Structure 1
Amino acid sequence: MLSLKKGRYQTRLAESEADIHAAQSLRHLAFHGAEGRDVDGYDDLCVHVLVEESRSGRLVCCFRLLPFENGQAIGHSYSAQYYELSALQDFNGPMVEMGRFCIHPEVNDPDILRVAWGAMTSFVDDHGVEMLFGCSSFHGTDEQAYLDAFAMLRDRHLAPKRWLPRVKAPQVFRFAQKLRRKPDAKQAMRHMPPLLRTYLMMGGWVSDHAVVDRHMNTLHVFTGLEIAAIPPARKKLLRAVAG
């Protein structure tokens, strides 16, 4: 069972209905800014990871994982609702979709993200995962606030053509085609979501368009990370946290 304790925080798998409800409540608060529960049919299929304050037990971060033996079943992933992913059906190794990643909006501590990635690293190593994927979200649905970030994604981080997701959602922002601006690197990184920033630091890549998701009040890009492509120094750091 995944269990990790680092500094002020500890991680564990959800074990009860109450644990799942707590994660759903945090998700609703993080994505919608109000009390409630964010619930969908994928919750019953996923493994849920909780990051809690060690002393108080307060839930400060959560995410869910949906494993796949290989790319043949990727059409059943959450992401496949929004992206045409047939190119990834040829991926032969084990994959896992990470979704609904969120941090409590009242907590601002970079150690939470580090511990969460440590937990993810443990899961990847324990299950021999070769690709991590999911939807990385920008808050809100106005792309104008993130043009430098999207321009940087276009210039430096687009998916390899062999894996490139195609358009499926009814409303998208085709930043790879439409943007002509040169990105301001400082502004781009300032507005890049922390989760996506971490993916990119490890060699991750994104779709050439963002989906406008009004239900979740986000713009999101499909994000993939081939584990073999993570730089050795970065792997060493992640495993140090996971160990």
Structure 2
Amino acid sequence: MRDLPLPTLPYTDLRPTGARRSLLTPSAPARLDVAWARTEDDVRQAQRLRYDVFVNEMGARLSTPRGAPAGHDIDVFDPYCEHLLVRAVIDGEQPGPVIGTYRVLTPAAAIRAGGLYSETEFDLTRLRSLRSRMVELGRSCVHPDYRSGGAIMALWGALAEFMLRNELDTMIGCASVSMCDGGHFAASLWHQLQKTHLAAIEWQVRPRLPLPVDELRTDLAVEAPPLIKGYLRCGARILGRPAWDPDFNTADLPMMMRISDLPARYRKHFLEK
């Protein structure tokens, strides 16, 4: 029998990241500034934030390219991606450090990169008809002090504008779920979401290293993490069973969101400004 994930925390210690107490003070930023990375330093700031969240907070074990600077989350796809950054404007001054980020791999860049990051975890054969207008979103994270929702909404607004400007209509990516409890939370979440948000069979994909959901608990009363909940509210669909990512200690749900499936209220908010 295949080895099961080893828990690092009891299930009762798991909390959605959005539930963490905010450390913002009354002098906190009045607004957020969103922009695409233009320099190597911009990208390095995003990679440092990713390292802080994925390694220091979530316990990921990274395999970085030779010569990569310490304290950065860097992989072979980064040079081909567009990096979207959100910074806090502190006390009316110039934007400060990066507090949120996404990276975006466009169809043309995916060809140059030799494929998508998601293809390292899933067989995406059934999505080939969508590739010419499909982008991959990844490495999304927000600093823990800024997870009240404003930062992610600012990022989503910029992503929507990017999709329209470039005549793209489909977004895919891996939505990560903590496996600090050994995977029971993730298995229960999959069991719940497959009943309500599973994509049509023609879009479903297969994990290369499946989370062994049949050997884990699937009866826990769980609630989707805030980011996944937000995707689902925007019309996203789950493309199949979760993959197990031992390096990041996560279960990764393959997700797809199409502009045509965006509910009316989100279409008005993101696309009709």
TM range (shorter): 0.7 to 0.9
Alignment of 1:96-111 (within 5 A): 96-111=135-150
- The TM-score normalised by the length of structure 1 is 0.83
Give the distance between the partners of 1:180 and 1:157, measured in 2 at CA: 20
Residue 76 of structure 2 corresponds to which residue in structure 1? 41
- The TM-score normalised by the length of structure 2 is 0.75
Alignment of 1:193-232 (within 5 A): 193-232=225-264
| Post-superposition offset of 1:36 | 1.2
| Post-superposition offset of 1:121 | 0.8
Cα distance change, pair 73–225 in 1 and its aligned pair in 2 (3 A): farther
Residue 95 of structure 1 corresponds to which residue in structure 2? 134
Alignment of 1:76-155 (within 5 A): 76-91=115-130, 93-140=132-179, 142-155=182-195
Give the unaligned 5+ runs of structure 2.
1-28, 58-69
The structure having more radius of gyration, on CA atoms, is: 2
More strand as a share of residues = 1
Q: 2:97 aligns with which of 58, 79, 83?
A: 58
Q: Does the 8 A contact of 2:80 with 2:112 survive in 1?
A: no
SS of alignment partner, residue 228 of structure 1: helix
Deviates more, 1:77-86 or 1:90-99: 90-99
SS of alignment partner, residue 48 of structure 1: strand
SS of alignment partner, residue 57 of structure 1: strand
Deviates more, 1:50-59 or 1:72-81: 72-81
Q: Does the 8 A contact of 2:123 with 2:205 survive in 1?
A: yes
Percent of residue pairs identical: 26
CA displacement, residues 189-233 of structure 1 (integer Å, 9 cap, x when unaligned):
xxx232221111111111321111121222111111121111222
> Is it true that 1:166 corresponds to 2:206 in the alignment?
yes
SS of alignment partner, residue 235 of structure 1: helix
Segments of 4+ in structure 1 off by > 3 A?
Answer: 71-75, 177-184
Q: Does the 8 A contact of 1:152 with 1:183 survive in 2?
A: no
| Post-superposition offset of 1:74 | 10
